[in-house]
Each structure stands twice: as structure tokens, then as C-alpha cells.
Amino acid sequence: MDFTRSGAPLDALFYPTLSLPGAAWTNPNLLFFDKIGVIAPEGDSRQLFDGPTRVLMEHELVEPVDPTRYAQDDHGDEQVFSYLLGLSHSPRKKQREVRIHLGKLAYTRLTDRLLRHGMLWRAHDPNWLEGPEWIVNYLMSVIAARMSSHPRLDVPLLTNLDDARRLMAGVPLAEKTIGARRMRAVSRLLPVGPDADITQIVRFRSQHRDELIAFRGLIEGLLRRSQAVPEGERDFEARLARAEELRRHLVGELAVVRSIAPPLTIALSITAIAAPVIEASYYSAAVAFGGLGYLLASHTAAARRDRTARRDKLVYAALASRAFAVHRADDLLG
């Protein structure tokens, strides 16, 4: 398996932005994922990433992954363009304009066609394109899904935006089991304040590596609801109790990571990617209802095989209980 530039495997591939969200979101995720990838073209890191993300790269906690190697799909580009062209003629509330780096699309057949049809346009900076948020968000979801499914990368996705998760995986069913409240509590990421020193976080990861790996394994197993459990609900209760115990232990140990600012409560969920992305998104119903379905190219045998391959791909959503205000368009997408 061809992992990344460093040769080390990734635990998750973050999307849709170039840089990770603020430290209030990122610090807890650093205790759940060993290494996080960000989708980024080749280029000067000072122009691509913000300062905090570059610091995490220096500590080898985050690594850029070039989409050129993993997201090229000429046949899929035809489907994506037809889909977006059809939706662009549907009534839609005016959305704000956001940016996407040209390097994320330059290897595809999409760029010229989207520019020619006015669905994207060039920004003042020649390295960037601009367009409606729904189009850019959709393009980033397509790129992320292709990369996640590539056999030489084969990595689950991670996002901080519920809209991005829903676009990839659809709307999850409501959880109504007896243990649902306990599951929501135990699957919260470990509390680390936004002002925690990165060296202390790295030291904590090193000193508690085995426990953090065990905790992640328990949480993933519980959230995925494995059907291979021989003892059924009794085994689930035992694993849930073990996860609760281990979480309490790790939270107690986190006292050594000094922080004054209160940590953000971040709930973690895991959803299977509904493939292909064109069918998975909540825009699909609008296409069918509006009579625009004929614009979608028919699926070939290869596309059907891709659909089967994606059934096991996952999307992690680490969603804050309270949202931060976004002040710039490029804080959201890129």
C-alpha cells in the first residue's frame, strides 16, 4: 500500500478545507487519530496552509496528500459535470461564494468546463477559483471520496462540517437504543483545551499510546455496531463499560496537559459512505424530481465495481456542540 509522502499510514483524511480547524477542534482529534491527512496540491506550504497546520506538520501529526495521485477519474468527471450542470438550472437560494485551490482540480477535465459554463470563475489570485458554496462543497466531497477509495490510499474520511458529512453519507437514522445516551457520552473526543501546548499533547500521545489505540478501537467497534459479535447485546454492554472505564482513566491522566481555556465538547460519529457520491448526496432527490436525471451518464461495469468497493469506506464526523463563527470564505473551503 502506498500511503503518503513520508511512507507512514494515515488514520483519516480530512476534508473539505486545506487547513485543519482551530485548536479547540484539532487538539481532541490529535488524541484519537495518530496521523491526519489534508487534501492539498504540491506547493509552498506557507501559501497553502495556516500557521497552526504547518506546526502540526512539523511534528508529523498532519501530512498533505496530493489529490493528483488518487482522485483522477475521467469517466467520473463526465458524470460530475452533467450532474452539476443539471442542478445549476434548478431554482436555488443565493449562496455565498467560496474558494477552491486550482491544484485540487487542475488534473481533471472539470476545470475548463466549469469555467466555461460559469459554475466556477477565476479569483484575483491565479492559484484559486471561486464559485457557489454548494458546487465547491460537492466537488470537494467527490475528490475526498475518490481518494478514500483509492486502493493505494484506502483511508477513512474526517470532517468537522455536518453538511459535508451528509453530502457524503446521507442522513443517519436516529439512534433509539437503550444505550444511545451512554454511547453519545463515551464517544465524545477526549477533552483538550485550545491553549494546550503541542509538545505536551505529543508527550501524552507517546506515554499513553497503547491506551489511546485501545480506546479508539473500542469506540470504532461500538459505533460501527459489528455484526460479528458472538455474544450479542451482552458483549456490546461489556465493551461499552470497558470504553467508559478507559475514557474516565484517560480524562484523569489528561490533567498533565495544562490548559486554562475550557475544552470544546466534540461528538464523534462514524457513517458508511453511500456510493457513488452522485447518488449519495441529498441533491439527488432534487435531480430526479426535477426531471434532470437524464443528464447523468449511465454507470459502466467499472463504476458498479467502484460502488461495491466503497461500501466499506467510512466518514468520521467530529462535530462541535457549539459552532464557531466563520469570518472568511476560505475558512470553510479550499
Q: Inform me whether the pLDDT recorded for 322 exceeds 60.
A: no
Alpha carbon 297 to chain centroid, angstroms: 27
- Looking at the predicted structure, is the pLDDT value of residue 170 above 70? no
Phi, psi of 68 (to 5 degrees): -55, -35
Query: Which of 171-175, 201-205, 299-303, 314-318 has the highest mean predicted lDDT (pLDDT)?
Result: 201-205
3-state helix, strand, coil in the chain (%, to 5): 45, 10, 40
Mean of the per-residue pLDDT values of the chain: 78
CB-CB contact of 317 with 162 (8 Å): yes
pLDDT band for position 277 (cuts 50, 70, 90) = very low
Q: Which residue has the higher pLDDT, 274 or 148?
A: 148
Which three three-digit cell numbers place residue 7? Answer: 511512507
Give me the pLDDT at residue 331, please. 39
Q: What percent of the chain has pLDDT over 90?
A: 42
pTM of the model: 0.81
Identify the residue with better confidence: 25 or 327: 25
- Phi, psi dihedrals of residue 116, rounded to the nearest 5°: -65, -35
Output the CA–CA distances (angstroms, integers) from residue 202 to 30, 45, 206, 256, in the order listed: 9, 22, 6, 12
82-88 mean pLDDT: 85
Quick one: pLDDT at residue 86? 85
- Quick one: pLDDT at residue 23? 94
Q: How far is the CA of 35 from the CAs of 76, 88, 116, 190, 314, in angstroms?
A: 29, 37, 39, 16, 16
Please write the tens of the pLDDT for every residue from 30-45.
Answer: 999 999 999 999 989 9
Q: Under a CB-based contact definition with an 8 Å cutoff, are residues 167 and 324 in contact?
A: no
Query: What's the average model confidence in pLDDT over 303-311?
Result: 43
- Residue 184: band (very low, low, confident or very high) from pLDDT cuts 50, 70, 90: confident
Residue 10 Cα to chain centre, angstroms: 13
C-beta of residue 14 within 8 angstroms of C-beta of residue 21: no
